Amino acid sequence: MLGIAYITAGDMKNASEIARELVSRRLAACVNMFPISSIYRWNEKIEEQNEIVLLVKTDSSRLDEIIEVVKILHTYDLPAIEFWEIEGEKEYLDWVHVNSS
């Protein structure tokens, strides 16, 4: 199953480091990064922070390895790592599959 691993990072430096490692290890075909503003509860406080979202195009069979790499490189104690199944144009999805396996 192909999908998007959704990951947030605290800054572009950390996001880029994670993205480059995932692509270089062929755990991802492509990673898009863009700034977001997040409001969340952490340690019983409401926090507001600018973050970077990584949209990691990958195969679900790579998810455990992605989680392992992210946990090693990430600056957060508890990084957000989610996986969303995707559907789309066949040739593009074939490219994602080939380049993330």
Count: domains in the chain: 1
CATH number at residue 80: 3.30.70.120
The angle at the Cα of 70, spanning 31 to 54, to the nearest 5 degrees, equals: 30
SS3 (DSSP) at 97: helix
Residue 98 banded pLDDT, cuts 50, 70, 90 = very high
Task: Indicate whether 101 pLDDT > 90.
Answer: no
Query: pLDDT tens, 38-97?
Result: 999 999 999 999 999 999 999 999 999 999 999 999 999 999 999 999 999 999 999 999
Task: Supply the pLDDT for residue 99.
Answer: 94
Q: The domain containing residue 59 runs over which residues? A: 2-99
Query: Of 33, 81, 28, 79, whose CA–CA distance to 53 is shortest?
Result: 33
